[in-house]
Every structure is written in C-alpha cells, then in structure tokens.
C-alpha cells in the first residue's frame, strides 16, 4: 500500500514524504508508518522525511518486484479474460507466459497476445519453463485437482479466484480471492452498522 502511494507521489515529482503525510494517505498513523518501514531498514532523514523515489525502489526490492515473474493463467473464462487483459500485471513485472483451458472450442484460439493452450500440457510446460506462479480462474469443482497438478509440476505460488476451499503443501504460497465472501463482509458491515474499512 505504501508502494502504491509512493509511486503516485513520485510521479507527481514529490521528493520527500513524511510519515505523517504517508499515514494520512494510507489511513493509518505516523507511528505505524515509521514502525512498519523501520522493520526493513532505516530509510528516512530526520527533519525531512522519506526520500520518495529511493523508498519506492527499496520497497520494490523488498517485495521482490525487481525481477520478472512468469505467470500462467489457468481457465480461459470471463475471469481469465479480465486478468489476461489487465495491463497492470505486465507493468508490475508479471509476465503472462500462457493461458490454459480444457475446452476444445477454446484451445488454439488467440487470446490477447497469446494462444489458449490445452490444459493437458499445463504440468509439463510449467516444469519446463519453471513458472513459479499460477492464477486459477476455473470452476470450483476442478480447482483442487488442478492445484494438485500445479503443485506436482513445481509451482510455488497460486492466486486462486475459484470460490473453493483448496489446500496446498506448506512450501507453496496460496492466496484466495472469493468475491462472494467479500460481499458477505460488506453484508456484515451493513447489518451491524460497522464503520468503513477505509481505503485499501
């Protein structure tokens, strides 16, 4: 989140930013900002604040965004399409090296700049190209099956959009986005008149 705002400030040509300013932008407190950043190092100048451009570089480094990450998208449905078209990925160093589906009417068809591959080739392709990250955009029923194949092929991280509960071994990172669950969180907030979650 800090990186997002710092990039914005950098684009606007701002040279430094105080913890107070960052806190205000991010909806947190100055002390929180300082503690968070101090965990990774001592980036600021007393009396002046944090050097915007330098700090963005540091954070990118910390997040591992200096390198390019190969990513496969599994599932050429609507969500897969939304993801494949999303320019933000490329911009941030995530290179989509393949889109996979098991629908014969989709395989071989063009898909943005890429072509839809047969899911049967998924495992071997990942293994050969050493792709570390997969984005899962397939129906729930197949999710765990596909995950197991991905894990077997050596995937190291999975971003899951299927509304299914899936499990992975400890050495694989898993992050699930469940849109229905997000809406349910809002339902809870509305039902209980909770205050806003603020920006995120």
**Window 107-136: contact mask with its own copies (x via CB under 8 A):** -------------------------xx-x-
Letters for 35-64 (x = contact with DNA by CB under 7 A, - = none) are x-xx---xxxxxxxxx--------------
Stretch that binds its own copies, among 14-22, 48-56, 98-106, 159-167 (CB under 8 A): 159-167
**CB-based contact 35:45 (threshold 8 Å):** no
Judged by phi (left if over 0) then psi (alpha if -120 to 50, else beta), residue 132 lies in: alpha
Q: Kindly state the tokens that stand for 3.
A: 């990186």
The tokens for 126 are 């990942």
Q: How many residues bind its own copies (CB under 8 A)?
A: 68
Which of DNA, its own copies, none sits in contact with 43, Cβ below 5 to 8 A by type?
DNA
For residue 18, state whether it binds DNA (rule: CB under 7 A): yes
Please give the backbone phi and psi of residue 42, each rounded to the nearest 5 degrees, phi first. -115, 95
| Neighbouring C-beta atoms of residue 115, cutoff 10 Å | 13
Q: Which residues bind DNA (CB under 7 A)?
A: 17-20, 28-32, 34-35, 37-38, 42-50
């Amino acid at each position: 989140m800090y990186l997002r705002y710092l990039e914005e400030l950098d684009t606007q040509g701002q040279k430094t930013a105080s913890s107070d300013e960052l806190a205000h932008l991010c909806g947190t407190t100055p002390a929180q900002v300082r503690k968070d950043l101090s965990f990774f190092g001592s980036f600021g100048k007393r009396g002046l604040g944090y050097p915007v451009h330098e700090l963005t570089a540091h954070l990118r480094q910390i997040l591992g965004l200096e390198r390019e990450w190969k990513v496969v998208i599994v599932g050429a449905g609507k969500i897969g399409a939304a993801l494949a078209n999303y320019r933000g990925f490329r911009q941030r160093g995530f290179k989509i090296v393949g889109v996979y589906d098991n629908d014969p009417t989709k395989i071989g068809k063009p898909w943005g700049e890429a072509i839809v591959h047969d899911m049967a080739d998924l495992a071997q392709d990942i293994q050969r190209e050493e792709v570390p990250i997969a984005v899962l955009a397939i129906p729930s029923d197949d999710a765990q099956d596909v995950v197991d194949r991905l894990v077997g092929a050596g995937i190291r991280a999975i971003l899951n959009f299927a509304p299914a509960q899936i499990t992975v071994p400890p050495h694989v990172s898993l992050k699930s986005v469940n849109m229905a669950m997000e809406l349910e969180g809002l339902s809870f907030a509305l039902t209980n008149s909770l205050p806003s979650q603020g920006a995120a």
